[in-house]
Structure 1
Amino acid sequence: MADKSVTANQRLTQIKDFLTMNKTATTIPWDPNCTKFPTRKELPSIPGAPAEAAWVWGDDDYLGRVNLLTPARVAAAAKEIRTGEIIPVNLPLDTPSQPAFDREIFKHEIKTLIDDLAYDDIYHLNTQSGTQWDGFRHFAHLSTGTFYNGTKGSDIKGPNANHKCSIHYLAEHGIAGRGVLLDYRGYAEKKGINYDPFDYYPISWEELYQCGKDQGIDIRPAVQGGDIKIGDMLFVRSGWKETYDKKSPEDRDKAALRHGSGKDGEDGLRYAGLSQEQKMLDWLHDSYFATVAGDSPTFEAWPTHESYYLHEYVLSLWGMPLGEMLDLEKLAQKCREKNRWFFFFSSAPANCLGGVGSHVNGNAIL
């Protein structure tokens, strides 16, 4: 009986697609060129995968939502280039001077090849210490200890280590498409909403919706009548970089070295970011963003006050590269001046076999 129901639903979908000129993803592996995809509540159950896993692009897929950056979507995104202004979003490699989460400080050494004639660079760095993509090896679905598409810790490090979920897959494919900026910090200042980006402050979906509305954007997915297209890349400015620049070197280091849970009055790392709530999960999933990114060290409000992290859903369940500590200051200024919040964006992740993450090496082009 269940099989007949599935068949009937598939036929109904085919009829709807014919009438609407859509192409709905129904059979795994999904075709990235489809024009309609299941909502979070409609995700198919995948044997052996955690609930809500969208491991739908093939058994050996390690691109996740980057699959949505098809040639057709990239070509369409290029039409957002109007003035040709290039705006890098990369912090200097030594910023922040003291990375949070006990990460190593960036060190730069000049190596002399021939005095006065030839020199090399030597970098000592943690790819998570500055403007970064969190790759799919960075954060697991905690209750099952599973990374994207069934990858385990033993695949990442140890005698049986392999290249599952390696950052080089993103490098070989490339990241380019249409970006959208939600300048929540600018919106909050305009509306008199006061908060400290270096303290816990959850930005709710409703607040982001109102921020978008203030910018003239409906942040709902296009299938729901909004302006977000499949494969768009999300950028959210919380004001972390602006606040960092105003702090003294001593206060910057002190903030990065806070220890403890950060909850219930205990000292610890605390940052503003996207809230952990069901509406936010629905929106991040159903918009079918190719990537998501923010300007803080965590993207989501830190520490989570729920039983889960957005990182679990974004990285391990849905396969979306997650960017942190992007410099969105100049981009926000230019977007506001031009009243244009969509732009072309390109990024060149490091081609490192077995790598966990990468500096973004990204440019927005208006």
Structure 2
Amino acid sequence: MIETFTYEALPIRVRFGRGTIAEAGAEVARLGASRALVLTTPQQAGEGERLGSLLGPAFAGLFSGATMHTPVAVTQEAILALHAAGADCVVSLGGGSTTGLGKALALRTGVRQLCIPTTYAGSEMTPILGETRDGRKTTIRSLDVLPEAVIYDVDLTVGLPPALSATSGVNAIAHAVEALYAKDRNPVISLMAQDAIRTLSSALPILVHEPDNMEARGMALHGAWLAGCCLGAVGMALHHKLCHTLGGTFDLPHAETHTIVLPHAVAYNAPAAPEAMAAITRAIGAPDAAQGLFDLVRVLGVPRALKDIGMPAEGIETAADLAAENPYWNPRPVTRDGVRDLIARAYAGERPGARVSAEEAA
């Protein structure tokens, strides 16, 4: 059977390897820029200063206020810093929080971006920005926020604590998983998604026990790049809607939320996406996609319950209401009762399960 599909490659330059951060100055020049504002979280300010020394005369300053969920108030502070520095580009060093801030600046000012990821978030490969205002997280998709260039340096991930390696990696797996049953999926992205899941699920258990294993580090970063390409190329579904809702409403840690929710979202969608489930089981080497992902999280030794990362019990009903409002496209219809059951399981840390209504079964 010949499948009809659309595949659109994104205009982004990628440099991958070890020690590649040394090429940051050359990449800034390639962008046609001469004054770079380095962005980091407060915890990575020291790394930002060291990057500044590598940039030399192109280093215009450091803004180290990036934080989770890209609050609009922080973006407004960063715009002032950008103008004060006279910067004509930003260099985002860190994970999804820093990358998100760079995208928010690009959206509002048109500034060019070089991303240097230090986690497996994958957002550096996407034209997607999620930002938070008044406790509500919204998402936009626009080429205006797509970074022009990315440097992947495997050496920069060595300092990731094992738990953060694990949750950041499962967050990346989530991008690939949802790409397999996306409404606009295509064969190219599906191949990348399967390889990303296979690579990450193989590398992460090694990294938990051997954080300095450079071969596994390289595999994980390569898998995260593939997963980021998936996230950037096709739409996401229920899992991402839930995680944005939970994270923005209850200020939950991003990667941990994705890690906990993913097996439950997969279980919910399993009846409606058998081909995607078969691809996931092949990639992770398990007989059931949702159970296999849950067991992967268990092996990694990271939280499996939303209650353990700060979600209040009374938030289950609130989250169900919000997730059912204007839901993303999803292979299985999104019902409030079904989503509430999913969230309740994830809150308690139970093994995933899917309940199919009589109407759906018919």
Task: Answer yes or no: same fold by TM over 0.5.
Answer: no
The answer to which structure has the higher helix fraction is 2
Question: TM-score range, shorter-chain basis?
Answer: under 0.3
Higher relative contact order (CA 8 A, sep 6+): 1
Structure-1-length-normalised TM-score:
0.23
Structure-2-length-normalised TM-score:
0.23
